[in-house]
């Protein structure tokens, strides 16, 4: 919205957004289409689209004039028609929209990005989809992925089960990339006995640019959804090139770059598969659960959201840790092999948080440890700090999980059991590939 003064002046001149106007201001005379105020632009700056297509901002102040040149159409977003199927004799793949960059569209006049999700929209940026699958599209919600909550995970899990029961070949979830690996981990725990693939996909570069990674990612995800695999995976670029995608295991993947197309990496395991965009081929890189349409999916989505993720750091205060007793569970992302400040040498500045953590455990709050190094396995036997944590009953020694996966798993475990010992039992047991006993030697940046 423009400022009150400007709005009044526009009203007096009988001028609305979308009209062609002439503005005379101290900065000169301009004619163009009046647009809504630019996001982050000045509230007194009228935005005009000139005949050349360029937008300019013109300061409108006392003494400025605006005049109607030609009445235009009011600016409204075109609404897309949702839930329409693309027919064809190809294998059926359901695409569910959970928001994010991949399912957004630009309104060219104003430049506003708004959610768009219809088969028409999808086909407009990836027309090749119609050659590889018969697509069913459905929007679950329009959401920025940073706004996702465990409640949303539950909705997604149930809706995926609905699609599975329809007997589709596979399901693709379009999702924002920021929290995609939390959702993939949650679905991995919630969706048990899956007969077919559930593939999450997103894009790192917005769909309003020709260079967006959305088409390659989506096409590869649809291919992965038809492959011989059952479980939850994430499908994103292998590297900066537009040629291959990896299918990552849902509990083993993390976004490790803010902006690159290859931000998603499999951690401590190889990716499940490599997908050739041009060749339309899926090549499995290691053993994976095979698809089996006879299995019947079970939705086990009980969650306890009251869990905290503590990222320890030099100088972390014991008093702060003590306050975490309002939570039902705490994941500590520890340093190195799984450490926190323990001060065994009575240093004058150092402060141990072990007593505070012990206090939590004694109150029946499970404390779980995971590595903030991201890569590698927790080992509480090597150094004093680790041994002290082990002694007070911290859960996770020997686990090679990601902090976020440990967090999601703790929410899920606490949805099922309450007692610390029961929680421990469930946590250290491999449920969905999140922990393993072997640490494979992985070539760095495989596939590049």
Partner 1 sequence: MSESVESELKLKCGIEVHQRLDSHKLFCNCPSETKLGKHGIEIVRMLHPVASELGETDAAAQFEALKGKKFVYQVFDDASCLVEADCEPPQPLNADALEIVLMICKLLECDVVSEVQVMRKMVIDGSNTAGFQRTAVVGVNGKMQTSLGVVGIPTVCIEEESAGIVGEQDGRIVYRLDRLGIPLVEIATSPDIKNPEHAREVAEKLGALLRATGKVQRGIGTIRQDLNVSVEGGARVEVKGVQDLKGVSDVVRKEAERQRKLVEVLVELKKRFGGKINFEARVVDVSGLFEGTASKLLAGKRVFALALPRFAGLLGRELHEGRRFGTELSDYAKGAGVKGVIHSDEKLEAYKISESEVGKVREALSLKDEDAFALVSVEDEAVARKALALVFLRAKMNVVPEETRKALVDFGSAYMRPLPGKARLYPETDVHPIRITKEMLENVGRKMPKTPEEKKLELVALVKNEELASKLLRGRNLQLFERIVAGTKADALAVAATLEETLVNLKREKVEVEKISEERMVELFVEFAKGLFVKAAIPEVLKEMAGEEGKSVEKIVEDKNLKRISGDELKKIIEEEVKDFKRIMVKYRLRVDASEVKI
Site residues for partner 1 per CB under 8 A: 25, 27-30, 38-42, 45, 47, 50, 52-59, 78, 105-111, 113, 116, 120-121, 124-127, 204-205, 207-212, 214-216, 240-243, 258-261, 278
CB of 93 to partner 1, least distance (A): 19
328 is catalytic: no
Hey, what are 363's tokens? 């109150």
Please state the φ and ψ torsions of residue 175, each to the nearest 5 degrees.
-145, 150
Of 139, 255, 265, 358, which is the active-site residue?
Answer: 255
- For 304-342, give one letter per residue: b (16+ CB within 10 A) or e: beebbbbebeeebebeebeebeebbbbbbbbbebbbbbb
Helical (H) or strand (E) element with 331:
strand 329-334
110 is catalytic: no
- Decide: 271 and 246 in contact? Cβ < 8 Å: yes
Q: Measured between alpha carbons, how far apart are the two ends of the chain, in Å?
A: 48
Helix 180-190 with 403-414: angle, nearest 10 deg: 40
> 56: closest CA among 68, 66, 65, 45?
45
By beta-carbon proximity to partner 1, the closer residue of 208 and 322 is 208
- Give residues with Cβ within 8 angstroms of 151, minimum separation 6: none
Of 20, 49, 109, 178, which is the active-site residue?
Answer: 178
Provide the 10 A C-beta neighbour count for residue 358. 18
- Give residues with Cβ within 8 angstroms of 93, minimum separation 6: 133, 134, 135, 136, 168, 169, 170, 171, 172, 222, 225, 226
Of 19, 101, 121, 301, which is the active-site residue?
Answer: 101
Looking at residue 395, the DSSP 8-state letter turns out to be B
73 is catalytic: no
By beta-carbon proximity to partner 1, the closer residue of 237 and 339 is 237
Helix locations, 108-149, DSSP H: 119-125, 129-132
CB of 177 to partner 1, least distance (A): 13
By beta-carbon proximity to partner 1, the closer residue of 50 and 350 is 50
By beta-carbon proximity to partner 1, the closer residue of 263 and 361 is 263
Hey, what are 97's tokens? 């929209």
CB of 104 to partner 1, least distance (A): 9
As a whole number of Å, the CA-based R_g of the chain is: 26
By beta-carbon proximity to partner 1, the closer residue of 137 and 324 is 137
Hey, what are 296's tokens? 């019947």
CB of 66 to partner 1, least distance (A): 14
d(CA 331, CA 121): 41
**Angle, CA 272 vertex, CA 266 and CA 277 arms, to 5°:** 100
By beta-carbon proximity to partner 1, the closer residue of 27 and 393 is 27
Of 110, 139, 177, 342, which is the active-site residue?
Answer: 177
Most distant CA pair in the chain: distance in Å? Answer: 80
CB of 114 to partner 1, least distance (A): 11
CB of 45 to partner 1, least distance (A): 5
By beta-carbon proximity to partner 1, the closer residue of 213 and 249 is 213
CB of 109 to partner 1, least distance (A): 8
Q: Which residues are catalytic?
A: 101, 177-178, 255
């Amino acid at each position: 919205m423009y400022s009150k003064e400007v709005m009044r002046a526009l009203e007096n001149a009988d001028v609305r957004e979308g009209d062609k106007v002439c503005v005379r201001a101290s900065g000169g005379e301009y004619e163009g289409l009046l647009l809504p105020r630019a996001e982050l632009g000045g509230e007194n700056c009228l935005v005009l689209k000139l005949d050349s297509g360029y937008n300019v901002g013109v300061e409108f102040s006392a003494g400025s004039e605006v005049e109607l040149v030609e009445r235009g159409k009011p600016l409204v977003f075109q609404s897309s028609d949702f839930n329409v199927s693309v027919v064809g004799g190809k294998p059926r793949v359901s695409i569910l929209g959970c928001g994010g960059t991949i399912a957004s569209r630009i309104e060219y006049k104003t430049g506003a990005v708004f959610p768009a999700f219809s088969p028409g929209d999808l086909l407009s940026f990836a027309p090749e989809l119609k050659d590889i699958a018969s697509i069913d599209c459905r929007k679950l919600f329009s959401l920025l992925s940073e706004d996702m909550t465990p409640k949303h995970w539950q909705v997604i899990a149930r809706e995926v089960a609905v699609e599975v029961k329809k007997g589709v070949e596979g399901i693709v979830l379009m999702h924002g990339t920021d929290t995609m690996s939390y959702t993939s981990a949650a679905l991995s725990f919630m969706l048990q006995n899956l007969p077919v693939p559930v593939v999450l996909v997103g894009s790192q570069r917005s769909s309003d640019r020709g260079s967006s990674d959305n088409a390659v990612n989506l096409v590869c995800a649809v291919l992965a959804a038809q492959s011989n695999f059952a479980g939850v995976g994430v499908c994103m670029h292998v590297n900066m090139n537009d040629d291959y995608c990896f299918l990552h295991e849902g509990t083993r993947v993390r976004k490790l770059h803010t902006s690159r197309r290859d931000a998603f990496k499999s951690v401590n395991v190889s990716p499940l598969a490599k997908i050739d965009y041009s060749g339309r081929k899926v090549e499995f890189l290691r053993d994976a659960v095979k698809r089996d349409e006879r299995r019947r999916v079970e939705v086990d989505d009980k969650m306890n959201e009251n869990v905290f993720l503590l990222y320890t750091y030099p100088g972390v205060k014991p008093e702060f840790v003590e306050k975490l007793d309002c939570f039902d569970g705490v994941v500590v992302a520890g340093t190195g092999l799984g450490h926190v400040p323990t001060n065994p040498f009575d240093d004058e500045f150092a402060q141990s948080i072990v007593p505070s953590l012990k206090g939590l455990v004694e109150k029946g709050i499970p404390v779980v440890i995971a590595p903030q190094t991201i890569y590698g396995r927790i080992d509480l036997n090597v150094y004093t700090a680790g041994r002290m944590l082990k002694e007070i009953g911290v859960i996770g020694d020997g686990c090679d999980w990601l902090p976020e996966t440990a967090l999601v798993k703790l929410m899920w475990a606490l949805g099922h059991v309450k007692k610390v010992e029961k929680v421990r039992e469930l946590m250290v047991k491999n449920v969905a590939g999140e922990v393993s006993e072997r640490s494979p030697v992985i070539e760095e940046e495989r596939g590049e």
